[in-house]
Amino acid sequence: MSPHDHETPAGGHAHGGHHGHDTTHIDWEEFATLLESEAALSLPLYEEVAHWVREQLPAGSVRRVLDIGSGPGAVSCLLAEVFPQAEVVAVDATPGLLELARARADRTGLGDRVGTRLAELPEGIAELGPADLVWASGSLHHVGDQRAVLTGLAGLLRPGGLLALLEGGLPARHLPRDIGIGRPGLESRLEAAAAAWFADMRAALPGAKPEVENWRALLAAAGLTPTLTRSFLLDVPAPVTDAVREGLVSGLSWQRGALEGRLDADDAAVLDRLLDPDDEEGLMHRPDCFMLAVRTVHTARRG
């Protein structure tokens, strides 16, 4: 139900064009609240990733960071904290999300080091300027020609600079296999429907090109030297807080709409019960809902 799941509706947050198929079109400004909620819930994972990336760079060497597909800027501000000597530029194609990023930076006292840049990819890459770290989290799969974007981003890196690519992992789970209503295995069926949605979303992107998702090979083809790959766990066991419950409800509500017509009537009815705040079997009342997800990160260096 997380919007950043690689193969669930909405993975990533920036650069997809407007798609012809209604259920694969994402209005990112309408999606802002969910993006902020997801970022808040996932911030411990992103913090762990950012410190791991920092360990791969010489101390004090990072002066400029590009956060590609920044959305509302939660991770941009985190990167400014992890790299205190760096200017961080939140790059996104949606003006409303960049306004939220600017507001967050000002609110957290980082406004002097966190800037924003409106840019579509790959067209706007050349205008972004050089960087010591390029961070791209869940944004690459929202551009049609992923290879071209990686090549363009690699070209922005200064010698010794690092590209951190967060793509893939495992789809998030939030419920037991048997939840006591409907057929067991609901989330497995949602995952299958979401994979079909993801394929349709990719096919509808402007300039979409099929690509084997061997990210290390793609990073090498972009002219970089792949360094490390690691997967990071987000584990929030039951019972969860009300804030987590609200985040799960928001994510599942979006998924319910995105998968309209892709689910059978029984599963759709169960989803409606899970989203009903007055239903004792719903997410706002269940003692067994949780958050469990894995994000995979690939790093590569410019020689």
Reported as a single tens digit per residue, the pLDDT across 198-225 is 999 999 999 999 999 999 999 999 999 9
Q: At residue 231, what are phi and psi to the nearest 5 degrees? A: -105, 140
* Out of 12-16, 60-64, 116-120, least confident range: 12-16
Taking residues 167-173, what's their average pLDDT? Answer: 95
Q: What is the pLDDT of residue 36?
A: 79
What whole-number distance in Å separates Cα of residue 283 and Cα of residue 285? Answer: 5
Q: Which fold has domain 22-301?
A: Rossmann fold (3.40.50)
What whole-number distance in Å separates Cα of residue 101 and Cα of residue 111? Answer: 10
User: What token pair was written down for 94?
Assistant: 């949606």
CB 180 within 8 A of CB 300: no
For residue 180, what pLDDT band results from cuts at 50, 70 and 90?
Answer: very high
User: What token pair was written down for 182?
Assistant: 């409907």
CB 62 within 8 A of CB 132: yes
Q: Which residues contact 46 (CB under 8 A, 6 or more apart)?
A: 39, 74, 75, 78, 137
User: What token pair was written down for 111?
Assistant: 């406004």
CB 293 within 8 A of CB 166: no
For residue 136, what pLDDT band results from cuts at 50, 70 and 90?
Answer: very high
Q: What is the pLDDT of residues 62-86, one digit of tens each?
A: 999 999 999 999 999 999 999 999 9
Q: Looking at per-residue confidence, does 7 or 124 come out higher?
A: 124
CA distance to 174, 195, 269, per residue, from 186 (Å): 11, 14, 11
User: What token pair was written down for 102?
Assistant: 């600017």
What whole-number distance in Å separates Cα of residue 4 and Cα of residue 12? Answer: 5
Q: Which helix (H) or strand (E) holds 251?
A: helix 242-258
Residue listed under structure tokens 């990072």 = 62
Domain residue ranges in the chain = 22-301
Taking residues 244-273, what's their average pLDDT? Answer: 95
Taking residues 146-150, what's their average pLDDT? Answer: 97
pTM over 0.75: yes
Rounded to whole angstroms, the maximal C-alpha distance in the chain is 58
3-state secondary structure of 2: coil
3-state secondary structure of 249: helix
